[in-house]
Structure 1
Amino acid sequence: MHDSSIRTARPDDLDGARALMLDTVYRDFGTGYVPRWHADIIDPAAAYLASPRHTLVVALDPGGVVVATAALDSRGPAHPPNPRDLAERYPSGATAQLRRVYVRPEHRRRGLARRLVHELLAFAAADGGYRAVYLHTDPKVPGAEAFWRSLGKVVHDERETTDGGNGVVHFEIPMER
């Protein structure tokens, strides 16, 4: 079950992490690369390694290939495109936002995402400055909504609003202490 190792990403992991992230936005999301949404994918070093309050963790197969990613930064959900009340509830600086929790299809259902998220939650707790852990997910991605419901609580479901928003589901995840 645990044939993959997990570690904080190193500079030599970034090409593999970037490739996995780009594969995911093209294959699973069907959006392809959208600069305003995915700039962190192109430069993960600046997004996740430059700040001591941000991190990128990776799972590596026995051959050292990146098979899963998970990131955390201190930017809360922006309005727009997210609802104003979420941006106010989860302000930047006090919110640890989980991002890019992606697992290659052939490595799914092995507990990798859960292990990576626990690493991120421990990181957020150790930081000492985060009051909440937030994320949003696209419920059209198979398994994503059920996975996040198993870890946290829904704080806003855009599918339930009159305009449908972007159709994403917003979650708060309890921080490990």
Structure 2
Amino acid sequence: MHDYTIRTATPDDLGAARAVMLDTVYRDFGTGYVPRWHGDIIDPAGAYLASPRHTLLVAVDERDGSVVGTGALDSRGPLHPPNPPDVAERFPSGETAQLRRIYVRPGHRRRGIARRLVGALLDFAVADGGYRAVYLHTDPSVPGAEAFWRSVGKVVHDEREDPGGGQGIVHFEVPAGWSPERRDPRP
């Protein structure tokens, strides 16, 4: 049985957190590193540790101290383009807590780590007090991603339903009252 600690990343964790993120974009997404999408992965300190309204969490395997998961939150809403205009208007920067980089290494999945990361990120957003919405988007082609996020949030825009399919991304809002113990995304 593995036990995991969810905590705020320190500068000493950034290399291991970056490795989890890069492994995920190469292996699960198949895109590899794309600068316009993944700049925060290369500079997680600037993206998540420099602002008091942003955070980067790590999931640490207590057996060996290895970082096996990440979760981040920032105050940058989705931009148009590339996101649909209604999504960008609904979730403006500064008022929106955007969940990012909720990644767990394959050998540690299905143990509740992602749920615990999301719960801790929502606690952070509530403590900030300045966010009016929590937003995220996911690529439904990643195995398990869409089902997980549907258990956490509410779909606000599915680009697969747009003419031409858009980017194929699914956009979600997470209710402020969501907790890891609760599987129904309705408040």
Normalising by the residue count of structure 2, what TM-score does the alignment of the two structures yield? 0.93
1:1-177 matches, within 5 Å, as 3-62=3-62, 63-176=64-177
Q: Residue type matched to 2:108 in 1? A: H
How far residue 64 of structure 1 moved from its aligned partner, in angstroms, is 1.1
CA distance in 2, matches of 1:55, 1:130: 14
Mapped to 1, the partners of 2:49 and 2:131 lie a distance apart of 18
- Distance in 1 (CA, whole Å) between partners of 2:80 and 2:23 is 27
Distance 1:74 1:152 in 2: 18
RMSD of the TM alignment (CA)?
1.0
Q: Residue type of the partner of 1:32? A: G
User: How many Å separate the matches in 1 of 2:115 and 2:99?
Assistant: 12
Distance (Å, rounded) in 2 between the aligned partners of 1:7 and 1:85: 34
| Distance of 2:56 and 2:177 partners within structure 1 | 18
Q: Which structure 1 segments of 5+ residues have no match?
A: none
| Cα distance between partner residues in 2 of 1:130 and 1:102 | 23
Deviations 1:126-172 (A, max 9, x none): 10100000000000111100101001100000001112111010000
Deviation for aligned residue 1:176:
3.6
For residue 110 of structure 2, give the secondary structure of its aligned residue in structure 1: coil
Count of equivalent residues: 177
Between the two proteins, what is the percent identity of the paired residues?
Answer: 79
Q: Is the contact between residue 49 and residue 55 of structure 2 (CA under 8 Å) also seen in structure 1?
A: yes
Contact 1:122 1:176 in 2 (8 A): no
Moved over 3 A (4+): none
Q: Which digits, 9 at most, give the CA deviation of each residue in 1:6-40, with x for residues without a partner?
A: 10000100000000100000000000000000000
2:2–2:61 contact (8 Å) kept in structure 1: no
Q: Give the AA of the match of 1:149.
A: R
Equivalent-residue separation in structure 2 for 1:2 and 1:73 (angstroms): 29
For 1:114 and 1:98, the matched residues in 2 are separated by 12
